[in-house]
Amino acid sequence: MKLGLISKSLLLFGLSVFLWVVLTLFESALVGMSLTTERVVTFLCLVLPAGLGSVLGWTSLVRKDGRAWLAVAGIMLNTLFAIFHLVVILFAG
C-alpha cells in the first residue's frame, strides 16, 4: 500500500494530536526537566510533525495529486496546530 502525500500529511496531523494527548497525560514527568528541555520536547513532538505535514500538503497541492480540498484541509489543520503550539512555546513560561 502506497500512501500519497495527502495521506501522509493527514497522518502527521493525527500523530501530532496523538503526541499532544500523550504529552498532556504524562505532563507530570516533565516537571523535573529544565524549561529549555521542555520546549525542545514540545517542539519535536508537536510543531515539527505538524510543520512537515503542512509542507507535504503544499507539495501535494502543487503537484496536483488530486483531491485538492483534502490537501487544503491538511494544510489548514497542520498549519494551525503548528502555529498554535509554536506560539505556546515562544510565549509561555
pLDDT winner (highest mean) among 7-11, 17-21, 27-31: 17-21
* CB-based contacts of 4, cutoff 8 Å, min separation 6: 60, 65
Q: Which of 62, 63, 50 is nearest to 9 (CA)?
A: 50
Res 2: pLDDT: 63
Q: How far apart are CA 87 and CA 27, in angstroms?
A: 19
70-73 contact pairs (CB < 8 A, 24+): 70/6, 70/10, 71/5, 71/6, 71/9, 73/10
The per-residue pLDDT of the chain, averaged, comes to: 88
**φ, ψ for residue 2, nearest 5 deg:** -105, 125
Q: Provide the residue ranges of all domains of the chain, joining segments of one domain with +.
A: 5-91
Q: Which residue has the higher pLDDT, 20 or 68?
A: 20
Q: Which residue has the higher pLDDT, 32 or 47?
A: 47
Q: Compute the average pLDDT of residues 62-79.
A: 88
